[in-house]
Structure 1
């Protein structure tokens, strides 16, 4: 069996909390706390969870936009956390990020052509003619008319801006892309178009995706496997069909019960979670979910469940299994 393209081992990203006159570190926000998984070539692995669960921090830690506190990120079996700045610069050709908000991620002073060609000039010795040709091809692929290439970001709608962001990230034909909530700021009708575009580009360029979202409805159509995060921890991980047909963790069950059904007459049991997500600076003892869990037992309050395989390729961190 081929090695995975990306392998994350016991990754941690903690942020210090400082207090007092001397700004001493008194605690840490454990945004990503001991997470391990891998992503195969040409696969789409999706991370889901409520806002503040650490999924975006995990995506940025993998790319070293945020520096992890510990663990390993193996890309083609090489730990990129040990890379020097020059090695990291070369790596940027192969790993890219599509941001959630196309409004703030695009420089308003640059035209579309300048924005999309900038990565080419950064990473390659390339003539202006060659760059323009590649930009024209990429704009066509993402569905933007070439006559709009000299316009500026403020002249486009949200969906068009996200197409510009995708063109900018994909112009280098990277092997691995982190898509951080790429459709959450868009209308539902536009979301479907952008998802379809991402799937087409993945097939054309043989890309691998880490797709981050809080919306399980969105994830269903694009993912091969899904990981569910809560308070910096992985709660459940399996293939997409299994997570929708047989969710094991009470947190996953609650998330899925909130997804609207296409048939309004179809009855379903809604799981209402009590309370708010605890602070990652002061997580509860035992299972991080036990204070909100409808199935919590005595041992959940003191013993943290092990993240283990309970069925074939179906991993869960819960004392019920």
Structure 2
């Protein structure tokens, strides 16, 4: 009489738990290691500094999350942030700060709109399309600034006050980043828009056949990404009072890394704002820890890459335990 072999539920459960909560395991391990290596790491001042350092990356990561959930990618965010930095520095000297910020966000939205229209309606590959927009935005930033840093001066005092100010010990840029993550989490969890964004990434054809205009939602996520990238550029400028076309180089890779470390799938349909925030925080902890350990700059890039690979193996290598 033949017997039925039962699945190894222990291996299955371990793999599922690591896949779902691996991001938090990485965070806990890093916090433990950092606290042992540095006495000042867990101080409020240092933790706030970590969050302030990653505030711009956090905004770009939220936009990237929306795009990746639809099975897309946006390589232009770093360049759009540079364009936002330059545009805000130029406009704040010509109009009220609020209008300058609004106009800068419109520029970011326009960049996202171009990417979205080409990807959603013409079905061009997102990788190549956003790579082209990345080049255009960076070039436009250098043209607008004539290749030179632009000082905001007295006209930009409101913006620089935001970048350097605090509320109860929490920097304004950190509060903005946290607010954006909270809104993104609520949108993805409780709104029709958020549910459809995830559904498009899971099965685009099924959503399309149900009578929903998939292309409009795809355009929308690229516009969101563009707006948040421009906002990230404003934040970067607000900390120094200088608009520069050189900021945001490689920032798109940090944003993608944060989203993926947070457990989102590059195949779309899976990801959350909370996990992405943890991914952003993890990147900040790694960079801060290496600074505290006086690791040279070039060495930091190597260590950062190795640690990210390790995090990915912990996240996705756990699938071995589910076989």
Is TM > 0.5 for Structure 1 vs Structure 2? no
Q: Determine which structure has the larger strand proportion and give its number.
A: 1
Q: TM (normalized to structure 2)?
A: 0.27
Whose relative contact order is higher, 1 or 2, with alpha carbons under 8 Å and at least 6 apart? 2
Q: Determine which structure has the larger helix proportion and give its number.
A: 2
